Chain A
């Protein structure tokens, strides 16, 4: 079969249009400058700066940063293997170290295709990708400013165990439907998590114990966020809302367990992790029961060596950010204007510049992460009532929105927010409260067509 595409006329048409567009654009630019515009993002800025890749497939989150040196690319490839390593019960020749208590067996078992994980618990079918953080308000923190662990459990419930050991608890997550109506009369449905935790001894978890369900976030672009200078984050903070825009924004100050000091937190749903190496070491020990040179846990010796920890960290630092989708759809720029007009960008800050970093590829990149890396009060609806360092039970770190439009392509479905309750971007917006109440209200008051345009814009990221 021979395809009879209209390649030549198409190209001619584009050139023809481009010529006139250039003339008209030049004229209109002046008018736009005079009118002040609405603050859209600069589309010449690439989402992940020079790390960006043009890939909108389900493998889009598995690409190495586009600007890696040959040496870095080799290291990234080795890190890809360690990130995928499946751990088994020791003694074993390959990848020993699993457990005895754990949530899952490899990094990529939870971060599906390096994207977010599903709000799933259990052993049948889909296995635990989500986890429950716990703390005992009567307990004593093990690190300065940290969460007091629950006796016999720690700060995270491990709901799996190697054969012969009992998991700490059986976790069941169910959903309760919540209905609502837009001012224009359009109904909507949300769902709220209902958590049931039964301890190994058959008893329910004590009612005084604070719990917080977390799904794994996407892994892309994290090195860039690590390279954002602390001063840049602090400059966006406005804890007392001095500028009166209704948005505060506070940095979380968390414990660096290597430096044994407090510093700004960047990673995790409450920004409780200061850097990616600590994040990786913590995930190894907490999620997989694998000790490392940085965190031994209860193990007598590291079960992964320095090189493995370094490679996994490096891998998470050097994943590319996919470029925004190219589209001719005029709804997308309109949706973008709405995003700014509603004030979404006051927290989902569109442009940042990285500074110094040990990896040269991450330095001095202008990026569009759509986060300020700060904590914001998100209201009662989303509150977990569990403090995490300086984050209160109502505060969450602004989630980066870059590549959020690829979620359904990568994951086959959508689940957003810290516990995956939102099944669409629309539901995620509707859960916004607290400091984001005004923006949410603004969204709800838009005509449906305009609401859809905002979603289209988000889907183009």
Chain B
């Protein structure tokens, strides 16, 4: 038997079609609010893809290439200076990667690029075994190893846990293969969004005309969800896990003492996602902030301020983070950073999201 609501839905649908039929509407056919395509919303999605996501991945592949070059220079001439230069290149490559964690969806996820680049912890037992074996440490060999034996954190371990005179031929051979693998994975990630037969960027920009993003609003929800995930992760995972357990071994990027920068760049990525801008690359676009401002300018600004507050609060944690978690004098700053991220998370989900869904 038909339910009451089922009939209501059917009749609403029929009336809607009768009233709007023939209007040439480009109906998405369901999901997340549906409705006709909207140029303004389209510009937000376009700028998210073209001004934020793809340039960030482009930045990542450039910086990964620089990292590889710096490591090759280190191998050719292992000095304090060349090690320092390779470390700097590693820091630089982490910036776009962490910023891209505000959109851990799409190819980075289902093509396995995230674990290949950023698996943690490093499998040091196997790494030691590999280094002391007689296996030829080619890029192909390293590429086929488990993700916990490659990626940024393995490179970090090799670059930061040793002095230059402790790095031998095997370590260099391994390091070069790891950073080449990072470079090729970053290249793939960029191409997955920007090139090939079916670039994911085009799929997202085609929201409303495909089943991945059944409506334009679903793409906006996806942007917000990506931001939410990283704000939650920084506050309640990356900071909370080592801090609550007073466990320095649970700290991300612990060999390089780069944790605080990682967290700040995570949240910067969320800011880029919200504003449609990538100021560091000179890109200014249309963002969710402008859509929110249409109905609530105060909220639009407050959201942006809260994300900036979260970045500032993270940067106020005394350095290095792995020492700060054990220092009672740093506890207030750590808690304040968590609270700032949670505040931004709450505003995003409780106030901004409903506006987007209207």
Contacts and interface: CB of A to CB of B under 8 A. Distances in A.
A95 interface: yes
Nearest to A413: B110
Interface stretch (B53-61, B122-130, B335-343): B122-130
Interface string A303-315: 0000000000000
A235 interface: no
Contacts of B123: 88-89, 92, 98, 162
B112 A325 contact: no
B8 interface: yes
A77 interface: yes
Interface string B199-229: 0100000000001111000100110011011
Contacts of A456: 29-30
A88 B121 contact: yes
A58 B43 contact: no
Contacts of A40: 2-3, 6
B76 interface: no
Contacts of B143: 124
Contacts of B119: 86, 105
A94 B249 contact: yes
Interface centre among B11, B124, B146 (most CB of A within 10 A): B146
Contacts of B40: 1, 3, 5
Contacts of B124: 88, 92
Nearest to A91: B125
B291 interface: yes
Nearest to B236: A77
Contact of B13 (A22, A98, A333): A333
Nearest to A162: B126
Nearest to B120: A86
Given A32-B7, A56-B221, A412-B212, A112 B30 contact: no
A127 interface: yes
Given A44-B3, A56-B31, 6 more contacts: A25-B8, A86-B121, A113-B105, A164-B133, A412-B110, A459-B211
Interface of A: 1-3, 5, 7, 13, 17-18, 20-22, 24-25, 28-29, 32-33, 36-44, 55-59, 62, 77, 81, 86, 88-95, 98, 105, 109, 112-113, 118, 123-127, 160, 162-164, 325-330, 332-333, 408-409, 411-413, 456, 459-460
Interface of B: 1-17, 19, 27, 29-34, 38, 40, 43, 105-107, 109-112, 115, 119-126, 129-130, 133, 143-149, 200, 211-214, 218, 221-222, 225-226, 228-229, 236-237, 241, 249-250, 286, 290-291, 294-295, 358
Give the 3 A-B CB pairs with smallest separation, nearest first. Answer: A327-B30, A37-B1, A88-B123
